[in-house]
A = this chain, B = another copy of it.
Amino acid sequence: MKNRTKRQLAIKQIILSGQISSQDELLRIMKEQGFELTQATLSRDLKILKVAKVSDQALGYVYVIPEGMNMESQRETSRINFLADGFRDIQFSGNLAVIKTMPGYASSLAVVIDNAQPYEIIGTIAGDDTILIVMRDGITQSDLINSLILILPKLEEKLG
Contact = CB atoms under 8 A, between A and B. Distances in A.
Interface of A: 46-48, 50-55, 61, 64, 66-70
Nearest to A47: B55
A68 B65 CA distance: 11
Of the listed residues A47, A52, A53, A61, the one surrounded by the most CB atoms of chain B closer than 10 A to its CB is: A52
Nearest to A61: B47
Q: Name the residue in A53, A54, A61, A67 with the highest tally of chain B Cβ atoms < 10 Å from its Cβ.
A: A54
A67 to B, nearest CB: 6
Nearest to A49: B55
Contact of A53 (B48, B53, B69, B70): B53
A61 to B, nearest CB: 8
Contact of A50 (B48, B55, B70): B55
A51 B68 CA distance: 15
Contacts of A53: 52-53
Contacts of A55: 46-48, 50
9 contacts: A50-B55, A52-B64, A53-B53, A54-B66, A64-B69, A66-B66, A67-B67, A67-B68, A67-B69
A47 B46 CA distance: 20
Contact of A54 (B50, B61, B68): B50
Contacts of A46: 55
A68 B55 CA distance: 14
